[in-house]
Structure 1
Amino acid sequence: MVVDDIYWLDQIQPSCRSAVGDKAFYLGLLMQRGYPSVPGLVVSATVLQQLLAHMDWQERMFADLPNSFLYVDANNPRQLQRIAQQIQHAIQAAPLPETLLDALQTSMQSWQSPAVIVRPSFSLQPGLDPTISYRSIGLLNSHICRPNREALAQALKQTWSELFRARSLFYWQRLGIQIQHVQLALLVQPMQSVLAAGESQIIGSQVQVQAVWGLGQALLQGSADRYSFDLQSGLQTHHPGQQTYAYRVAAADSTVPLALSAWLPDVQTCLQLELLSSSQARQPVLPPVQLQQLAHLVQQVQTELGMPLALEWMLEADSTPAPFRLVQVMPQFGSLRRLGTQFRSSSALSSQHRLIGLAAAPGKTVGTAWLMQSDTEQPTDLETISAGSIVITAMVTPEQVRRLQQVAGIVTEQGGMTSHAAILARELSIPAVVGVEQVTHLIHSGERVAIDGDQGEVYWGDFNLPSDWQKPSHSEPLAVFATPRANADLLTTGQATKLAAPRTPRTRLFVTLSQPEHLATVATLPVDGVGLLRSELMLLDLFEQRHPEVWLRQQPISEIIEQISQRIQPFAAAFMPRPVFYRSLDLRSHEFSATASEAHPHPMLGMRGALSYQFNPDLFRVQLAALKQVQQQGYRNLSLLLPFVRTVEEFVFCRQQVEQVGLTQEPQFQLWIMAEVPSVLFLLPDYVAAGVQGMAIGTNDLTQLLLGVDRDHAQMAAAFDPHHPAVVRAIQQLVQTARQVGIACSICGQTFQHTNLLSALLEWGITAISVDPSEVELVFQAMQQLYETSAGLDSD
């Protein structure tokens, strides 16, 4: 059964559970009971313990690491990162037993697979919280490699290292779990190209399914088909996804474009993207017969194990008697999402009280539904909504969000992840789920509602929730943690984290802001300034539900200039002498209650950005005068970003206005443009010749214009992909061209959670990166680690 601490899935015994981890244990149990499963073997948790025990540690605190407590200050990110790097580097440098590699290599040869995947499978010591198994899904990443000795050794070490990443150490510390209580085994499985893959779980009487063409890696793109199958009535529902390409296992000698390999190393060596034909993209991944077959398989497995669980499966291309094969089994001990009938009342409708949307703003919260009629609510009505309510509405504008700071959460039928309303909800730490179909017809005022802004889920009706879903008050100060997606609901716990100032690398880290709340705390973060101050969100309260053009006509110009300068001054003061880049108004008409210039505009391509200043120069000039007034107060750290610049002529007009006001007389002032319209890709040298001193790549608008996808359209969310090869190549060209013409180039948007893309940006020579406050620590630590790794390679 055991050869050098290797366990085959079909031979695992109950006594081996702690050695192989929960994930491998339950998959092996099902395999032995005749359920179709992907084969595999497990490297015992003992191997990692022995590896750590025999290392020659330089620091005494690691001397007895497998058995002793590892004391980590979770509120000291610099120490956390240093400890994580030391342990990870030691694991990467440690030799593995030759007998182990020999046995693994022999096993891989018997599979005859072009690639293998190494998955973490851990168990906790008895007595610890069993819900941690499902709560930690996604914390430790899997790694794909070629089936050769060297590649597998590297993948094993990378997966072991996941246990000691800064975010993992932070996670265990928050849960009060010591490292020696976590027994980490590794599940190694062959990978083959398959027809389809997906995930399934039972909620009430409903089997919920996500399915994609090709390998399951596409599930991370949010483009999956969604199905439900009622086990009592047999009723099926299908919500089509927006998948445009599938993942396949690449042949051993295949290569991929540099733009992909720079940020997806697994793609470079093991996987390849295959563009789906238009007919396949429109075709349901699972026809009704296969959905029924899968649903009954999931039901049988859950009955067999006697517990709620989630299954990952794959669909074989051939027509075998059992086309579905189980890839992973994830027990859901105590899970809110997977408790089925225990989660709901026993009514026939109980299983239907779960809706899926887009996770627009992180956090989990519970409250009473307040149905808002978007077209009839007055500003004063919004401010009277009781604290703790969850607003249910067709759509919400930034102005409305600004007046809803007292609510517990927001759910909308329309909107996208990058809409200004979603951005503002994130900055104000209001959990939000957008793009939820028919929510205003299904949920009524007064009903109890729970929303999960991390997963994009909405529950209502009769349910029980864990205490950690209760969201703290917005009045508490901001805190920033190492895992923004997993810990976003902790962003207002009252423990502000002050990080050490960064070194001075060639790439600066900026913060993106629009609201003055928590400004003093945000200014203590390790940032080099404000890379993007969103004026249209910062000035919302001044407009008072009027279009800015109307607002401009109804007040004396001197008062307007004073009001704008009063809004800008606190940001300049908080970050002095660090730069603050003020982006002038970019008025997207659908985000205001009235539009002065256009009767029926397209919200994305209407009269917005720099072009609008030529038609209404007064609105631009009052902003310039306000900047000049703040400048004259002694705050010389202000610069200007021009939004949505389409042509060089638009920039020249704006530059002339800036010069007339006298802003350029201050040596530190710089005039930049937003690189959002694809024309900038081809005209950047012309812009520089006209006087552009720098640019900021706006990935949200650039993505929608390159791919032809409305960023605010909920049903097109899956097609809005800022990591699409076309977008990545455009960013690369902009950064490298900026270096050639000698100007600064920053980037802002929602694209930096992927460390490999961040690495590519640094390699290309990006001069600055601007992120939301909740992402500062994550990106800061990733940048530090990348620079330290680069320095280590340079010294070798």
Structure 2
Amino acid sequence: MVTLPVIKFFKDIDKHDTPLVGGKGANLGEMAKAGFPVPNGFAITINAYDAFLAENEIAKKIYEILSVTDVNDPIQLGDVSAKIQKMVVNGKFPDDVSQAIIASYKKLSGVFKKALVAVRSSATAEDSGDTSFAGQQASFLNVQGDANLLVNVRECWASLFTPRSIFYRVENKIKHESVKISVIVMKMVQSEVSGVMFSIDPVKNDKERILIESVWGLGEMIVQGSVVPDNYVVQKGTFAILSKEISDQSIQLTKEGGKTIEREVPQKLRDKQKITDGEIVELAKYADKLQKHYYFPQDCEWAKEKGKLYIVQTRPITTISAVDRSEAKAVKTQKGMGFVKTTEIPIVTGAAASPGLGTGPVKILKRPKEIGKVQKGDVLVAPMTSPDYVPAMKKAAAIVTDEGGQTSHAAIVSRELGIPCVVGTHDGTSKLKEGSIVTVDGALGQVFVGAKTVKQEAAIKLKEKIVKTKTATKIYVNLAEPERAQEIAKQYVDGVGLLRAEFMIANIGIHPKQAIADKKQDIFIDKLADDLTTFCKAFYPRPVTYRATDFKTNEYRSLKGGATWEPVEPNPMLGFRGAFRYVSSPEVFNLELAAIKRVREKYDNLHLMIPFVRSPEELAKVRRLVATEGLFEKSSFKFWMMVEIPVNVIQIEDFIKVGIDGVSIGSNDLTMLMQGTDRDNSEVAQEFNERSPAVLWALKRVITKCNAAGVTSSICGQAPSTYEDLVKKLVRWGITSLSINPDSINRVRGVVAEAEKEI
């Protein structure tokens, strides 16, 4: 008996269905429900996969074989993979599974039609926020007919056991049995143009820019890196196009006669921009909306057919933290090999794909079978990479490819691994010589011939000296993800000035009122306390200031049960949020307070900050709620308030009198509300200016009044991470601390040190 459902159409799927339809399927359903332009389709659930394995009695055999496989032996891994895939491909469908698939295909196709569809794998561990399964399982384009569909479904299931998939799971300590596979069947978009886009710039870790790439024809070539795509960079907020790099594309992937083939791009189109400026902006807005919908930067695939744009996939960007690690890794690589003096003129140039410096002997790979040539510390050079190259990429000091763009396989994997990478060089494999020592600058997209010298040692020591410079002004960091706590705590930083609650609450996954209704409030408290402990333990005894939840109603509604408890508001930014919510629903706020109290029993470096406080009276009510939990009984506890509404600035003395230990200025919201603008609205975003005279007046007033009252002052918006001139002003006015993005710690501390010397 097959467990139901076997099939789910996109309209019936949302992000909570990942265990049933995999990451890709859940995201497609979620996007379709949210109104994004997604082609119609359905998911063949993991119930069908389980039934197939049971019908053929092969599950136990597969996992027994894998349990004794040495994934570091390429020959053994290849043999095992081939054996398992053959077992799957030759298996028989349970009748009710095949009938359900064919019936759904007919429903998707319409009467008397057999639609062309894309058949794509969707693993249950795929497209998660911390691992990237991109490109590891099979996809098939332009599939038509019942028999062909069933063949390709089996091929998708079998692709869960390719050498690269097996290797990746073992390397990431993911149990084979825990990963199952759904198959997505969606109407084929016959792409005239297709591409990918990132809702942030993943190379520079720039959260204010959107990166879009495009190619003629179907999109597989862009992921494979077999062509150099157009590259467009768009400013968030204003959606101004900052730069365009147009590639000369000679081949494309198209559908002809039911088959997917390569053919030449017409001569008149080869050097033309692939999409219009208007379409670039339209895509950028989709990317921005997707990030806001998922509360996390997104890696999206898109396609254009007959003038209409479609979003065909989205997943979290898995490489953000790796960008921060790559520079440190590059320095370590240099120390291990001796310092390298590079020639002044690069021998090879391309697109900057993953930042950092890497030095080593060149190893040129023309095909995946040659990956055994690469030893630890080599510079891997190839025409392009595919998932088959991953074992070698993990050993490399740097990676260089002839083809591909900033969203190609080589670029994505390099960023995840924290390895410097340059792509789209066109001539890397011909200009670089086997065995020669080179230095790869992944931030500039350049490759130099290198020779040993000690000259750079001083530069690196100088950099270390800057990192360790002490400043009277504290340098705190803004954080949200528990997974990054250990990594960031190792940096020279004075604590966490803004620990955002929203990411942790979203990971718990259930609306707090729903948790209470389901009598699961203890589970909610346990999970929140565990995450808070992760931060406090990593930074102890440095302070960790937790900003209580500031979900708006539209954001809270996305949590499980949220639609039951949250009103629909015309303007959530000015609605039921912040301190007003705590006073109105103290039972919810008490869950957070209970978690804080539990953590403070062991780690007294945890403090509380209240967001979006509309009046001193409201702050006093919140303070009484906190007092009821007994948090003020220990003098080590600090009670902070966000300054992000004009009334906070105007009545700052009255707020201080309520009894606060510190304030942190949220420059993003404060600027919008001071100027009456919305940085996320392209029509008015150009008016958003954190350094306008009015905002500067507000910042100076708050800092001055806090200093007079002996209250700590800080700032935690984007501004201090971006504008060095503003940092210097804040220091001159006497701000106590700055809380900044992790990638700005070293730079901002250096600016603060300079500013303090000038006082």
Classify the TM-score, shorter chain. Answer: 0.3 to 0.5
Per the normalisation by structure 2, the TM-score is: 0.45
Per the normalisation by structure 1, the TM-score is: 0.43
